[in-house]
Amino acid sequence: MLKLPLKPYLPLIKKHADRRVLDPYLVAAVIMQESSGQQYAQRVERGFWRRYGEGILRWVTSTASPYDDEWARYPDIYCSSYGLMQIMLQTAAEAGFHFRFPGELFDPDRNIEIGCAILSRHRNAVGGDIRKMLLRYNGGGDPTYPDRVLRHHRALLEQRIFEP
């Protein structure tokens, strides 16, 4: 049953989805696809630093935060996706995440808040097209990603997880 791993996070999903005028079922579906509802999920994206490391370092040195400079010494930190919505550190920072430690992205409230901000930004950039929004959220490299999220969406709707 899909509902069980999400149960502790339903109020946070609803709160942050509503704040960004997002479908909470869609946010929950992204969480199921990205982490299966596992708060401490972390995935290193192999090859990411090779492709984007130079740009990340330029971005890090241009920000006022001393903490992102400190963590840039460890490429796997910037090449990892964190938490329920599997958010990369630089993407989170670009969406307003201020941190001292990258592991703060494991906090469900902060993770879902930032994930919803990112989804909302992508939705606005693509004129509300859900499939394109999901592709952008995933980085655009996997054309099957929207279908997988939308399958979770249908299953969660059938379970009525946000209804009492």
Is 124 within the bounds of a domain?
Answer: yes
d(CA 130, CA 57): 32
d(CA 58, CA 61): 5
The per-residue pLDDT for 41 is 97
Structural domain boundaries enclosing 141 = 3-159
Global confidence as pTM: 0.89
Is 115 within the bounds of a domain?
Answer: yes
The per-residue pLDDT for 80 is 87
C-alpha distance from residue 145 to each of 45, 99, 113, 137 (Å): 16, 29, 21, 9
d(CA 118, CA 147): 19
Q: Tokens 């400190």 map to which residue?
A: 70
Is 17 within the bounds of a domain?
Answer: yes
| Number of structural domains in the chain | 1
Is 164 within the bounds of a domain?
Answer: no
d(CA 26, CA 152): 8
What CATH number has the domain bearing residue 66?
1.10.530.10
Q: Tokens 């703060």 map to which residue?
A: 104
Residue type, 17: A
Is 35 within the bounds of a domain?
Answer: yes
- Residue-wise pLDDT tens for the chain (164 aa)? 445 799 999 999 999 999 999 999 999 999 999 999 999 999 988 777 777 778 777 877 787 677 777 777 777 777 889 999 999 888 898 898 988 889 999 999 999 999 999 999 999 999 999 999 999 999 888 999 999 999 999 999 999 999 87
The per-residue pLDDT for 78 is 78
